[in-house]
Amino acid sequence: MAALTWNEALALQQPRMDHTHREFVELLAGVEEALALEREELADRLAGFIVHTQLHFAQEERWMATLGFAAENCHAFQHAHVLQVLRAVQARLADEGDVDTVGLLVDELGKWFVVHAQSTDAALAQTMAECGFDPETGSL
């Protein structure tokens, strides 16, 4: 069973955010699939997932900054922590060949993402809607 699959409970009715979240779910599934493949393939997929996640989080943080969220907020803190863990697991895979820890990461990240999307991301999407924020142009 997949650690995370896209479902309507994850949809926030914010098209750009929902698109990015779908990509996150698909790329995480690709990492999970690669657990059964060669380590090089797993490392490549994990690297691609990390790049996407960095861009994904940076995009949300730009939106939050435009909307006046404090730079040091719980949402951004969660992003920073997840990126720190991703990099540590990536290093462990590279240095020690630790595939099991990547598997744990996939499982835990799947659980975390559901809660994150339905709480902090949902609050961001609601704030964007209430303020008339256009994520395509970055304007209110």
Q: What is the pLDDT of residues 14-51, one digit of tens each?
A: 999 999 999 999 999 999 999 999 999 999 999 999 99
User: What span, in angstroms and rounded, lies between the C-alpha atoms of 135 and 100?
Assistant: 38
| Cα distances (Å, whole numbers) of residue 96 to 69, 102, 117 | 39, 12, 32
Domains of the chain in start order, with CATH, are 15-131 (1.20.120.50)
Per-residue pLDDT reduced to its tens digit, 65-114:
999 988 789 999 999 999 999 999 999 999 999 999 999 999 999 999 99
Decide if pLDDT at 137 tops 90: no
Per-residue pLDDT reduced to its tens digit, 116-130:
999 999 999 999 999
User: What span, in angstroms and rounded, lies between the C-alpha atoms of 118 and 42?
Assistant: 28
